[in-house]
Structure 1
Amino acid sequence: MDGLFRQSGEDAHMWCPQLPEIREALHSLGAHSPAWCPQAPAEHSGRVPKREASLSCGEQQDTPQETALDISLSYICKFLTLCALAQPGATTDGNLLDLMELMCRAGLDVGLRLLPKTDLQQLLLQLLENIRQWPGKLQQLCSALSLASDHHHNLLALVQFFPDVTSRSRRLRGQLSLVVIARVLNQQETLPLWQEKAQLLVLSRLLSLMRPSSLAQHLDAGPSPPCQEQQPKASAELDHKVCYLCHSLLTLAGVVVSCQDITPDQWGELRLLCMQLDRHISTHIRESPEAMHRTRLKDLAAQTYIRWQELLSHWQPQAQYFSPWEEI
C-alpha cells in the first residue's frame, strides 16, 4: 500500500492515475484504440463473445484468461472509485466528465467483454456525485454520452450503467434517455430537450415517430435486393430490425417516465402519452407465430401502457373520478 502514496514535503497524498494512464491500462487489457468505438451487438454483427459461445457449448466456467481479465477490470474500477472517494475535490469537472465518457465507452467495448457491471456502476455513481457544477454539467455530459455509440442497443446499455439510486443518477437516466431517443430519430435539434418541465410533452412527440412503419422508412435506406427471390428475406430482416429498434426506444421511453417526479398538473401530459403509445405503437404490431420479436415488442408495449395507467390512476385529479352515487 505504500506505493499508493507519494510524499510531498511532510504530507502524504494518495496517487490517483490520470486519464492517459487509465486509457493505456484499458488498452493493454484489450480495449479498442484509438477511437474507442464499441462494436454492434452480437445479434447484428454475427460475432459471439467467448463467454456466450462457451455457455452455449455447455461450459459453465470462464477460461483462466477471461477470469484474469474480469479481475483486472474489477480492480481498476474499484481503485478509481477509491480515488474518487478519498479525493473528491482533486479532479476538475471537465476531467470527471472525460473519465465518465471513457469508462462508459470501455463498458461497451467488446474487447473488454463488457466490464464487470456492478463495479463500473459504483464508479460512475461516485464520479457523478463528485461533479461540483451540478446540474450545470448535465447537458454537456448527456451530449457526450449520447455520442458514445451509433447503435441503439449500446446506447440503451449505456443508460443502464447509471442505476436509479440517487437523485443525480435518476435525473441523468431520464435526461440521457430522452436525448438518445431524439438522436436516434434525428430530432435532437428540433425539440426542447433540456426543459425539465417539458420532457413528457417532448416524449409524446417522439412517440408519434416511433410507429413501426415510420421506423421502417428510417432504416430502409440501403439498396433494394438485386433479385426478387431475396426480397422476402430482406423484408423479414427489416421487420426484425424495426421491432428491435422500437423495443429499445420504448424501453428508453419507460425510463424517461419512471425518472419523472409526476405531479397532478402533469396528468394530462401522461394521459396523452398513453394515447400516443396505443395509437402509434400497440395497434400497429401484428403478432405472428413466425415473428416472436413482434410478440416481445407487443408485450413490452402492454407492460408500459399498464405502468403509465397506474401512474394516471394515482395522480388523477379528484374531479375526474367516477362516482356512481354522484347523481343520487
Structure 2
Amino acid sequence: MLTWPPETSSRAFGLLWDLSLDGLFRQSDGNTNLWCPSLREVSATFHNLGAHSPTLRPLGPTQHTGSEASLSHSEQQDALQEVALDSSLNYICKFLTLCALAQPGAYTDQNLLDLIELLCRAGLDTRLRLLPKTDLQQLLLQLLENIREWPEKLRQLCCALSRASDHHHNLLALVQLFLDVSPRSRQLRGQLSLLVMARLLNQQERLSLWQEKAQLSSLCQLLSLMRPSSLRRYLGPETVLPGQEQQPKASAQLDHKVCYLCHSLLTLAGVVVSCQDLTPDQWGELQLLCMQLDRHINTHIRESPQAMHQTTLKDLAAQTYIRWQELLAHCQPQAQYFSLWEGV
C-alpha cells in the first residue's frame, strides 16, 4: 500500500488508521484485536521503498538512465519521490508505534529484538535517508519497553546492533537513535557505546564489558588506547608500506582519519559516562578517567589553523573533561580518599 502513488497511499493509510482506532475504541472487554504487521512485512515494505534489500544489505550500485536534456525533469521527479518517501516512512513509524502501544504483547521478545535491529539498519540506509528521526526514536523507545525479559535480552540486542555497520560514524549515529529519556534506553546507550568502542579498538575479548559496575574501569583501559599516535599506528598500515616514508598528502589524510575516529570514540566515551548512575565509590574511577583523558588525548592534540579537524577534536576533549570534572564535584568521594590525602 505504501508503494502506491502518494495520493492513493495517503488515503489508504488514513482509512487503515481510522479503522484501527475505531476497532480499539470499540473493545469493551479490553481485549484488543489490532492487526500488527509481521517482521517480514515490515522488511519487505522498506525494500519496496528503496532499501538495499529486505535485510537492508547492499545489492550493488544503483543504475541511472537518462540524458542531460531530461535532467531537470529527472530532478523534479526525484523531489516528488522524496516527498512520497518521507510520507511513507512516517506512516510506518506511526502505525508501528500504535501497534506497540495498543498491543504490547503482539510481538515476542525475539521479534522485538529483530524489529529494533531492522529499524536501526533502516535508519542507517542511505536510500532511506529521509527516515523521520524523531518518529523512529519514539518507536524505538516503546519497543524497548515491550521487551519482557529485558535484562537477559540486553546483551543479545547490544551485540546485534554493534554489528550493524563497520564504520564508526554509523555506529555512533546508531547509538544516538536511542534517547536518554528512559531507564532501558539509558542502559542500552551506555552498554552499546562501550561495546562499540571495544569492537573498534579490538578489545571485545579482553575486557569485562558485561560485569555490573565495571563500565568505568573498562572505559579507563579503552581511553589509554585512544591516543592519536596509537590510532595512527592502527590505521596506518593501510596507507604506509614498511620502510617507506609517508607522503605529505597521505599523511594529512591519515591524520584526518585518526581525528575522525578519535572524535567518534570520545563521543561514545561521553555517552558511557553520562549513562552511569554514579555513586561515591566510583569517584576514584571517574577521577582516573579525567587523568587518562588529559594524559592520552588532550596533551597529544596540536591545534592548527590549517587543520580544523584537530581543533574540533581538541574542543571536544576539553568539553568532555569539563563535564567529567563537574560530575566529580557532584559525586562525593568516599572517606578513604580523604584519609589518603591527609596522610600525604
Q: What is the alpha-carbon distance in structure 2 between the residues aligned to residue 278 and residue 72 of structure 1? A: 47
- Tell me, yes or no, if the aligned pair for 1:38 and 1:108 is still in contact at 8 Å: no
CA contact (8 A) 1:38 1:149 kept: no
Query: Which of 196, 204, 215 matches 1:188?
Result: 204
Change (3 A) 1:100 1:318: closer
> CA, structure 1 residues 257+38, in 2 after alignment: closer, same or farther (shift >3 Å)?
farther
Deviation at 1:230, TM superposition (A): 7.8
1:310-325 aligned within 5 A: 310-317=326-333
Q: Which moved more, 1:100-109 or 1:25-34?
A: 25-34
State the one-letter code of the partner of 1:250: L
- Residue 83 of structure 1: which of 91, 95, 99 is its match? 99
Q: Distance in 2 between matches of 1:74 and 1:171?
A: 27
Deviations 1:178-231 (A, max 9, x none): 000001001011100011201000000000000001111111231537xx9981
8 A Cα contact 1:159 1:177, kept in partner: yes
Residue segments in structure 2 that go unaligned for 5+ positions in a row: 1-15, 25-30, 60-77
CA distance in 1, matches of 2:32, 2:149: 28
Identity %: 76
Q: Which has the larger radius of gyration?
A: 2
The structural deviation recorded for 1:258 is 0.3
Map of 1:29 onto structure 2: 49
Moved more, 107-116 or 269-278: 107-116
Distance 2:56 2:228 in 1: 31
The equivalent position to 1:241 in structure 2, one of 257, 260, 275, is 257
RCO greater where, 1 or 2, for CA within 8 Å and sep 6 or more? 1
Q: Equivalent residues in 2 for 1:153-164 (5 A)?
A: 153-164=169-180
Distance 1:172 1:202, change over 3 A: same
Q: CA RMSD in A?
A: 2.5
CA separation of 1:263/1:234 partners in 2, compared to 1, >3 Å: closer, same or farther? same
CA distance in 2, matches of 1:168, 1:99: 17
Q: Which residue of 1 aligns with 2:271?
A: 255
SS of match in other structure, 1:163: coil
Structure 2 partner of 1:140: 156
Aligned counterpart, 2:228: 212
Retained in 2: the 8 A contact 1:215–1:242?
Answer: yes
User: In 2, distance between residues paired with 1:34 and 1:132?
Assistant: 27
What is the distance in 1 between the residues matched to 2:140 and 2:292? Answer: 34
Alpha-carbon separation, structure 2, partners of 1:212 and 1:24 = 43
Shift of 1:63: 2.2
Name the structure 1 match of 2:195: 179
Report the equivalent of 1:288.
Answer: 304
Q: Secondary structure at the match of 2:247?
A: helix
**Displacement of 1:318:** 7.2
Q: Would you say the 8 A contact 1:211–1:284 is kept in 2?
A: yes
Would you identify which runs of 4 or more consecutive aligned residues in structure 1 move more than 3 Å? 1-6, 318-321
Q: TM-score, normalised by structure 2?
A: 0.81
For residue 33 of structure 1, report the CA deviation from its aligned partner: 1.4
3-state SS, counterpart of residue 102 of structure 1: helix
